[in-house]
Amino acid sequence: MKPFILLISVAITGLFAIGTADKNISGTWVMEQGDSSDQPPVFRINMGEGILEGKMDVPEQEVYDRKVHSIRVDGDSVFITVYKNGATIYARRVNDSSITGVMKGESRVDTVKFKKNMNVIKQVNLTGKLNHIEHRVTHRSPFFEFLCFLCAYVVQKIS
């Protein structure tokens, strides 16, 4: 009886943690800003050691793999600080593949839209160097992995 109660409590705790967790925005996001160009900025966001990390490419400025200062998600709200003490993006997640908001810089505010790219994009900069921007379609948090392991362990002990 004890293992069954333990299994139920672990499952309920896991469902509660997963249900209340912030939305995962990991992936490759193409930014559309005001007057869109044919080479829009690209953000690559992933979960790294418990925090969201990102890199960006701005082909028009020949900037590749530039580290994003900070990324924070609170429910459906997304806050991205591009450079330290620089432009900040305040946005809301519309659905799994779309984020809209504004980017505030020192002297201007622009409307921005992000579209999630599910494919691998290949971009060639002016020197001919090939930049691969990859996206993992699925992502499991370390907590979720631990929860799966714990449930499997309890089921094995019960059997």
For 138-158, what is each residue's pLDDT tens digit? 445 677 778 777 878 887 888
Helix (H) or strand (E) holding 93: strand 88-95
Q: 22-140 architecture in CATH? A: Beta Barrel (2.40)
The two tokens of residue 37 are 């160009």
72-115, pLDDT tens digit by residue? 999 999 999 998 888 999 999 999 899 999 999 888 898 999 99
**CB burial of residue 80 (10 Å; 0-12, 13-18, 19+):** buried
CA–CA dist 151, 142 (Å, integer):
14
Other beta carbons within 10 Å of 114: 29
Q: What is the pTM of this model?
A: 0.60
Tell me where in the chain the CATH 2.40.128 domain(s) lie: 22-140
CA–CA dist 27, 7 (Å, integer):
33
- Asked whether the CA dihedral 49, 79, 76, 35 is positive or negative, the reply is negative
Beta bridge partners of 101: 91, 112
